[in-house]
Chain A
Amino acid sequence: MTTAPEQTDGVDIAIGVVTTGASPSVPTVVKVVQEGMLTHLGGLTAAIIHMDPTMPDEQAGQVEPIADGIRLIHARPAGAMATASGLDGWSESVRAVLGLSRRLHARAVVLLNADITSMTPVWIRGLAAPVLKDGGCAFVLPIYERGRYEGTLTQLFVAPLARALFGHQFWHPMADEFGCTGETAEFLLAQDIWTTDLARQGLEFWLPIGVAGGALTVAQSVLGPRVLNPTGPQPPLGSTVGRVAGALFSIAERHEAGWLDVRGSEPVAVLGAPPAPAKRSASVDPKRMIEGFLQGVRDLLPIWERILSPETLGDVLVLSEQATGEFRLTDSLWTRIVYDFLLAYRARVMYRSHIAQSLAPLYLGCAASLVLETRDRPDAAVAHAVERMARAFEAEKPYLVDRWR
């Protein structure tokens, strides 16, 4: 149940805009959506669903006409507490957007983040048009334009692991924003994911894998840069790595039947020209990353001894003695580290959150290696290194499967 208007007319497209707490950017997003609809999807009707778990009673359920065929609906997930925030609130909001879209009989559903300042009308087309087309895809993931060292956790961990496990070559296997058909929304709502810890902690990672696992077609749409208006201090890298790793590992455990027999990977359709790395300046500090890695060696060794195989741990310790200039955490070693962590997570060798968070220093070592290897080389070298890493995950998959079974 959602706190929303009882009676609503049907629409072609439902566009969810999720916020947590009063967000001054909602009018801006509404304007972008309006322009996108008029410019690229003329003649179609749309409802913009502003979903916020902290929305006050007097606002929830209100409907505002925006333009011909476009209205703004303010809604709140059912049972949402006024203090709900962060990831818990986000998954509940996504579910509520999908549910309300069903009530609106929407043919397409688009989900947006109100805090993105780089959103353009093209995003509406990119996420909605492919699923509206007859014979189109069921689900659209975004591809963003990134700086060369932006999204390193995605490039070095999320994408290669998802690709090796499930066989899909996603650029950005996270549905922070997405588009899908009304049928796909129905499919998603029917899954038993919504009340799980995984939904609360990593729904965005599960969505594309869950959809693909349902034999629905997924495509990727090139959108442009994704710039978020900072709403608070960045969470520490360790907790981000812990959350992401925990989500990915939970997905692997939940869907083991969907990947144990998968070998290799297949490209996923890309709509638009893949973007070149943006020229944003990034002040990456591999020396400090290595210090973070070494700090981990000093502090987390007793934990890693229980997670990593003796051979992998030995290689990590050897690496800890390398000088900064010679520091290289190889693709093969990183892959075995990730697989050992996944196996330890499944075996519950200790509190799962401890396992996932203790991956962070090793990730720093991996990221430092990428930077040290490529910082004096062209952008293509980064793409090459990332692809090489993904192939290493595929090549080492038997190591994981043998131990999983």
Chain B
Amino acid sequence: MSDPLWYKDAVFYELHVRAFQDGNGDGIGDFPGLTSRLDYLKELGVDCLWLLPFFPSPLRDDGYDVSDYRSIHPDYGTMADFECFLESAHAHGIRVIADFVMNHTSDQHPWFQAARRSPDSPYRDYYVWNDTDERYRDARIIFTDTEASNWTWDPMAKAYYWHRFFHHQPDLNLDNPTVRREVLDAMQFWLDRGLDGFRCDAVPYLFERDGTNCEGLPEAHAFLREVRRQIDDHYEGRILLAEANQWPTEVRPYFGDGDEFHMAFHFPLMPRMFLAIRHADRRPITDIFRHTPDLPSTCQWCLFLRNHDELTLETVSEEERRRLYHAYVPDPRMRLNVGIRRRLAPLLDNDRRKTELLTSLLFTLPGSPILYYGDEIGMGDNIYLGDRNGVRTPMQWTGDRNADFSRADTARLYLPMIVDPVYGYQSINVEAQLRTPSSMLNWMKRLIAARKKTRVFGRGTLRFLRPANESILAHVREHEGETILAVHNLSGAAQPAELDVREWVDHTPIELLGETRFPAVRERPYFVSLAPYGYYWFRLEPPAQSVATYGIEGNPL
């Protein structure tokens, strides 16, 4: 665990403690339960867990409304349970990062409760107050489905308070040095316990200034650099991952000169992958990388297909958004805010070929992939549950009662299990897939293992080839003399591809998943045919190394 750039090669796995495994039979997942499932995660090949918020919270926004930064939500166990989990995860070779919400708290946080009671409270200035709701009018409203304004009147405080998200999540006033110190102290509290970093929520919205859209202000970057410096000064190998749902050029400043975030999500890529596969056209993907700036050498993009939120469409054009809604939203209930609240498998019509193709893209494009819990077995969703709860249902371990997630009465589960005939836990569960060699789960394990054969996927440069067939996405990744050629057929029909790889003449393509040797590259275009939604990962071996040996073949007897 000593490589400071470990996150560049890592496969991340996002999960909610509440949803993964119930250890005490109360119907809610907890840290003892999660600890008991670490073997599974290790076997899957996961390097780092990203835990959704597990702090005390009224849970009106799935834990992103924190009411105490230094405790564990009692539903999830005790601090001792957390420490036991973290120690066990590290023993399994798995790092852990956690969500950290520095933009706002719950309105139930003692700071806010004290602040609203008196203008003289020392906590009053922990939040952003105003006598009217007229200030910062250029700031957009994010949750358009539920919030009419970024200001809410508090009758006790007799003032408006500022919130970029739900009205029950008042924004912290990070202009206040005491608040900044509180945030830093809270982060250090968890780092001292061994946490490997944070996924920092909503970082563009930390500060407010008149006449701006209140996003990505210089003051925010100054504060984030201070956070990074404090962490680097006191800890080794810890990371900061930014959630900034913006265009790549707008996210780029959050990396600073390698002195702010280590990682940030590449939000616009995700919907474009869905768009590309829908229209059998590589251009949505290649175009977005034209608009993706280079990063400092110690920084990395985080790539994802799905997560705990809706499939956000904020970073696509109106036209693209219409096409995506048309393609992926057959029922209006699947829409939420500016996005689609569905899991990966249902989005892709439960088509294993499409899932494999998109996952292959996720693993081969520049960045570190994040898997969302349950997507490795093709779990479904429940669009009849409110908000984004439909994609946050319990993990499906077996076909037994409650999918072996919990021994509680079924009615007591924090959310109902998926029970429909296609995605229900009787059909889709870990146990069944472990026993099926060709299952989605076993395929995912093989793919993760293949990705780990080389560092080129996490660290290599990117170059797109331009075959005439636009249903073919072919890209080359290179790192320290190693070359990977990835070829994807975005179409549902078999496709030919003629690739101009003369630069690697006499190299032998070795298909990474099967270690199959393909004919060597010659001066003419290299021809491959791909099955519908097919893909290849080729390692291009130079001629001198083409006959790889174990060293014992020459005289085995």
Residues of A within 8 A of B (CB): 146-147, 149-154, 158, 174, 234, 236-237, 240-241, 244, 282-285, 288-289, 291-292, 294-295, 298-299, 301-302, 321, 364, 367
B 535-557 contacts with A by CB, 8 A:
548-557
Expressed in whole angstroms, the Cα–Cα distance for A149 and B554 within the complex equals 10
Q: Are B552 and A237 in contact (CB under 8 A)?
A: yes
CB distance from B12 to the nearest CB of A (A): 19
Contacts of A146 in B (CB 8 A): 555
Give Cα distance in the complex from A367 to B551, angstroms. 10
CA distance A24 to B453 in the complex (A): 45
Nearest CB to that of B548 among chain A residues? Answer: A288
The residues of A that contact B549 with a CB separation of less than 8 Å are 283, 285, 288
- Interface size bucket, B side? 10 to 19
Assembly CA distance A364 to B549 (angstroms): 12
- Closest-CB distance, A120 to chain B (whole angstroms): 19
B332 at the interface (CB under 8 A from A): no
From the candidates A244, A283, A284, A285, name the one contacting B557 in the complex (CB within 8 A).
A244
B477 shortest CB reach to chain A, Å:
20
Known contacts A285-B550, A285-B551, A295-B515: A240-B557 contact under CB 8 Å: yes
Write out the residue numbers on chain A whose beta carbons fall within 8 Å of the beta carbon of B42. 321
CB-CB contacts of B434-468 with A at 8 A, as 1s and 0s?
Answer: 00010000000010010001000000000000000
Nearest-CB distance from B437 to chain A (Å)? 5
Interfacial chain B residues near A158, Cβ < 8 Å = 557
Residues in B whose Cβ lies below 8 Å from that of A302: 437
Partner of B552, one of A149, A236, A244, A299: A149
Nearest neighbor of B515 in chain A, beta-carbon distance: A295
Closest CB-CB distance, B33 to chain A, in whole Å?
Answer: 22
Residues of A within 8 A of B437 (CB): 301-302
**B43 on the A face (CB < 8 A):** yes
Question: Which residues 35-55 of B have a CB within 8 angstroms of A?
Answer: 42-43
Tell whether, in the assembled complex, residue A321 and residue B43 are in contact, meaning their CB atoms are under 8 Å apart: yes
Closest CB in chain A relative to B456 CB, distance in Å: 16
Judge whether A292 and B446 touch: CB under 8 Å: no
Q: Is the CB of A283 within 8 A of B515?
A: no
Q: Which residues of A contact B555 (CB under 8 A)?
A: 146-147, 150-151
B550 and A364 within 8 A (CB): yes
Chain A residue with Cβ nearest B449: A298
Residues on B with C-beta less than 8 A from A283 are 549, 551
Q: Which of A237, A295, A298 contacts B556 (CB 8 A)?
A: A237
Is B514 on the interface with A (CB-CB < 8 A)? yes
Partner of A284, one of B453, B515, B548, B552: B552
Cα separation A60 to B514 with both chains bound (whole Å): 48
Give the 9 A-B residue pairs with the shortest CB-CB distance, closest first: A284-B551, A153-B556, A150-B555, A302-B437, A289-B550, A237-B553, A285-B551, A283-B551, A152-B552
List chain B residues, Cβ under 8 A from A295. 515
Nearest CB in chain A: distance from B393 CB, A: 30
Residues of A within 8 A of B514 (CB): 299
User: Are B552's CB and A367's CB within 8 A?
Assistant: yes
Residues in chain B near residue A152, CB distance under 8 A? 552, 556
- Pairwise interchain contact A234-B554, C-beta atoms closer than 8 A: yes
- Collect the chain A residues with CB atoms within 8 Å of residue B449's CB: 294, 298
B550 pairs with A151, CB closer than 8 A: no
Asked if B557 and A288 sit within 8 Å, CB to CB, the answer is no
